[in-house]
Chain A
Amino acid sequence: MSTNRGGIIGVDVGGTFTDLVVIDGKTGHIRIAKTPTTLENQAFGVLTAIDDAQVKLPDINLIVHGTTTTTNAVLERKLSRTGLITTGGFRDVLELGRRTRPQAYGMTGQFVPIIPRDLRLEVPERMDASGKVVTTLDEQAVRDAAQTLIDAGCEALVIHFLHAYANSAHEQRAAEIAAEIWPNKYITTAHSLLSETREFERGVTAAVNASVQPLLERYVTRLSDELAAQGYAGDVLVMNGNGGMISSKLVAKEAAKTVMSGPASGVMAAAYTGRRACEPNLLSYDMGGTSTDVALILNGTPPVSNEIEVEYAMPIHVPMVDVRTVGAGGGSIARVNPAGLLEVGPHSAGADPGPICYGRGGTDPTISDANMLLGRLNPEKLNSVTGGISTDDIASIFQTKLGTPLGVDARAAAEAVIRLANAKMSGAIRMVSLSLGADPRDFALFAFGGAGPLHAAALARELGVPRVLIPARPGITNALGCAIADLRHDFVQTINQSLDTVDVQVLHNVFAAQSSAGQSALKREAIKVCEVQTEFSVDMQFLGQSHVIRVHLNHGTPTATELRKNFESVYWKRFKVDLPQIRARIVNANCSVIGVCDPIDLSQLIDPAGRHDTAMPVTTRDVYFDGAAFKTPVYWRDHLPQNVQLNGPAVIEQLDCTILIPLGDHVTGGVDGNLTIHIGGAK
């Protein structure tokens, strides 16, 4: 069956840039565009990018959009006014959190709850943990509370009752009552978004959802209208944090799922590219200006977690691609501490003023500046920035702030900054990998983002990773992730029963209900899918434990014996511990329904017509390795032959990033215009 995938646009709005990729469905021809993000109204940047790519909207069948509207709203607390109706005695759950502080050391910290205390109202009602009613719902109290919140100017409403995951009757009834007088449809019942134990996490997730719903809906409506006015006849789809897409008409109902969609789409693109390149096991490594994101892709599948924390005490517990931020970016600042030792990070020059080499008045030495001094970034690019910064200016700052206190010259200081930054980043990547139970040496590194390909080979060497895969367009990977996305719906239901007493029929029924809800959600989408995949898993633990481990199942009707066997085998694989004497418990049942779209051809991400027959450097420049300058050839990536083979040292430049091939490494060209760096493979 055809999926109507003709002309496809993937467009991702990031913090600094709006990236766009447009794929011609008939010819496979691909164009890209990069324009500054317009923070006030992201739609302007999107339309500019479409304009820049010279797209004729009537020729486009599908637009998939990754947006930071909800992420920014949450982080900056620019939220719609939202009220809460909750169980008597528990209105402060959203503000008390889980008894934490932002950092282990330092007895300070601040926390601003999503919904302020005066808009959190209590009503008499109570369920117990088994879902039995302890106090019946006071319906008049619900009516009064809803009216009070309307009068207080609330636009959205959250209904969040204790143990509603076990029995949602009170939440549903309260929502019906509120809906009679609530002036719009922005009512979120917490259990419907996430039917899982833990009142703080479920409540915050619901509160985030409600408070970004109106904003997201207004934004996607405006964007859809603008696109329609310019002749686009199709549906705009929006990326979710689970790596799947959903119609803009449906997205607002579960708006919380769009938070963190940017990093998720990058990982989806990494997994997709890896599958096509026969590299199913990848550590994706996205290094940007302020931070670095890492994810672990096993068997071509990105990991999904429902325990993501967006910032301190801000958990959003809906299934999302598990991306970890590990700190350093190109803008991370280096300094010499009072012990006379070099430090890199955690402070960052950010985007403004940014590194010295941005020429916006930055005076702190950063990782990007070190790359510039070592010739790894093109010093000629300095001419194009405002401020008239030269490499001498950067060298002079490095000398004063780092070189002199360390007793070395500016270049040696720059090399030290890179060495320490790589040591710390590789350590952080190791921690992510180990915490997910995997040895990084079993993976290839997938490097993207503006700064990823500069550091990737050195990190791979530190990590003992044999290969680095660099996609054709590292700087627009998130936009590509939008274009290749599938439709996806995830469900979580708390079961909480011991394995030896559970009635597996209950579990089967939950799976059946989840899967059918997913199928009907797919049917509501305007685009057709070529295949529906349903994935089942359970979260399990040994009795007495509080952490859970996810066990994937081949089907939705497992027997108790099967569950026990699968659980033990996953547990052994992860922890190398075998505990036959202890009983197991099923905590959650999870189901994902994925509407798989037609595959997309990426072979023209670099235009074959522009490739040359042999690799010829465009220039050479001095690049420093281990204290010595090497006359290093510089290549233009779009001109390299498809099957290129080069030894390091080499620099490969392209519009959206710079790739460094260190001394001793070897690079080869492959499918879809990917490059593979073979660590220590120089011939």
Chain B
Amino acid sequence: MSIDPITLSVIQAGLQQVCDEMDLSFSRAAFSPVIAEANDRSDGIYAAEDGALIAQGTGGLPVFVGTMQYSTRKLIEMIAAGTVAKPKPDDIYIVNDPYLGGTHLMDVRFARPFYRKGEIYCWLSNTGHWPDTGGAVPGGFSASATSVEQEGLRLPPVRLFKKGVLDQEIYSIICSNIRVADQRIGDVKAQAAALMVGEDRLNALLDRYGDDVVKAAIAELRVRSDTQMQAFIEEIPDGNYSSTAWIDSDGVVNEPLKIHLKIKKTRGHLQFDFSESSPPCMGPMNSVLATTLSSVYLAMRHIFPEVPISAGAFTPLEILQPKGTFLDAEYPRPVSGCAAEVSQRIAEAVFAALVEALPHRVTAAPAGTSGNFALGGFDPETGRDFVMYQLSGGGYGGNIDHDGLSNGCSTIGISKAPPVEIMEQNFPVLYHRYALREGSGGAGQHRGGLGLDYEVELRRGNARASFVMDHGRFGPQGALGGADGAVNEVEVWREGVKYIPEHLSKEQDIPLQAGDRVRVKTPGGGGYGPALERDLDLIKEDKRLGRN
């Protein structure tokens, strides 16, 4: 069946709308701030045959670009192989196994078969970041885990909803293994309801245009997204490009991890080869394959934001499976750092490899860490335990037009940081400083943006501080002659004595008592172009405003 391009455009907009409404429904109804406010979730439509991505909501967290097509594909394969129960209408599968097309354990996926005339027409799936899935530390980001069992409860695909009804037996197993379980039901209901919204809206679209027309449109859109992506990558001259990016350590063994990327550009095709990267590591800085792939996609989308998120757009990007490296970790390697940290370094490698070929599109390296500082303890005033997270931003890389943005969100996220006033309302802490980190932007014709410099004091009781950050050893890379941005720095002041974590940016459970302080200086962005070519007025302005 051939479809005119105008109907195609309208159906494309319609499929996108279905996903956007799922995103909205999920966020609005979710209980957890991490989903409701930080939008750490994503919704999409996937092909019945192979799970290929048909459309994904525009409001999803960037790190989820393309990931659910791998978990959906695995699910379809396992159903075909008989290792997972066959679906019935109104069933919903739950799965968070990182090695089955996932990310880390906290990203819990729901998948719902979408039926038309008794046949599965496609799959609707979503991912939500649950605040806790059990494991050694609240929240799941253990810097010192050495196997996935320490990171939390791992769920294979099972039908959590059967014929639309929540399976209380499975749910009670989950609740017995996670923290603050009583609040989870709000998120489970929201996540399932979002898929229902998708089902309603997709039915309306199919009723209007016809099942066969939409099916043909989906196939045609896949071909056309492929063509579109090919047109974009033709901006890159044919040839070989390479880069290296470093992770400070895996949190357990104090050795840097190397990401080495070789890109080969031929006509309409980009091949990504990570095979010379470090082998799998002991600590949680391994990445599973699905996360490695989607990190490349998200980097490419930062470079070409115009391309729709669909399987067709990924076709011209061939990513060789990096077997034997930490970017293709297998069971039981710990993986909690893959979505928040490793993914950002993969993106940095893509940026660094392509900035010379695309100087008008690619920036110098951004801060590239989620800056996770967790403080857990007991507050004698409220009589309760607490766990506080301070995620922070850093400087972005300079680009062809401007200096980098200061205190921007992580490469893979879009969420806002909480205000200091809210942190002080909720936790027994007092901030002494929350400031631009002067001089942290990498020098260049357009310098990197500035990082953040904060200092926080524990006011009461005892607590333990944990850090999962990065770029403590190597600053975000400068580009085209620009200098690197400043490295991440962590200082723990206990009874007036300074302590610096051995791994610089990662450590678990540093004991603190009232009056102790933590100071964190987040990375500045890399500089772009030689500093000697910087405009004199910009130099003067930086001096006047104390930015250098």
Binding site for B on A (CB under 8 A): 89-93, 95-101, 103-111, 116-118, 126, 128-129, 134, 162-163, 165, 197-201, 337-343, 406-408, 412, 416, 419-420, 423-424, 427, 430-431, 434-435, 437, 496, 542, 544-547, 574-577, 579, 581-582
Contacts and interface: CB of A to CB of B under 8 A. Distances in A.
Contacts of B408: 99-101, 107, 109
Contacts of A576: 29, 193
A301 to B, nearest CB: 21
A89 B455 CA distance: 9
- Which of A98, A118, A165, A341 gathers the greatest number of chain B CB atoms within 10 Å? A341
Contacts of B433: 89-90
Interface in B424-480: 424-425, 430-436, 452, 455
23 contacts: A89-B434, A96-B436, A99-B416, A101-B408, A105-B302, A107-B397, A109-B405, A117-B547, A118-B546, A129-B421, A162-B421, A198-B421, A199-B421, A341-B5, A341-B9, A342-B5, A427-B13, A431-B21, A546-B33, A546-B37, A546-B422, A547-B33, A582-B182
A198 B452 CA distance: 18
B402 A110 contact: yes
Nearest to B420: A199
B305 interface: yes
Contacts of B366: 107
Contacts of A89: 431-435, 455
B6 interface: yes
B31 A90 contact: no
A100 B392 CA distance: 10
B31 A542 contact: yes
A407 B228 CA distance: 18
A206 to B, nearest CB: 14
Given A431-B21, A546-B36, 17 more contacts: A91-B435, A92-B436, A99-B408, A100-B408, A105-B302, A107-B363, A110-B405, A116-B545, A339-B231, A340-B227, A343-B9, A408-B6, A423-B13, A427-B13, A435-B28, A577-B189, A582-B182
B406 interface: yes
Given A105-B301, A108-B402, A341-B12, A100 B409 contact: yes
Contacts, number: 208
A128 B430 contact: yes
A424 B58 CA distance: 14
Contacts of A199: 419-421
Interface in B278-322: 298, 301-302, 305-306
Contacts of B434: 89-90, 92-93, 96
A343 B306 CA distance: 11
Given A110-B402, A420-B6, A420-B10, A430 B422 contact: no
A496 B426 CA distance: 10
Contacts of A106: 302, 305
A84 to B, nearest CB: 14
B249 interface: no
A167 to B, nearest CB: 12
Contacts of B407: 96-97, 99
B14 interface: yes
B266 interface: no
B58 A545 contact: no
Contacts of B5: 340-342, 406-407
A-B complex: 5 closest residue pairs judged by Cβ atoms = A99-B393, A339-B228, A338-B231, A99-B417, A89-B433
B225 interface: yes
B424 A128 contact: yes
Contact of A118 (B8, B298, B416, B545): B545
A634 B14 CA distance: 33
Contact of A577 (B21, B186, B425): B186
Contacts of A165: 421
A399 B418 CA distance: 52
B421 A197 contact: yes
A108 B399 contact: yes
Contacts of A407: 4-5
Given A111-B405, A199-B419, A547 B186 contact: no
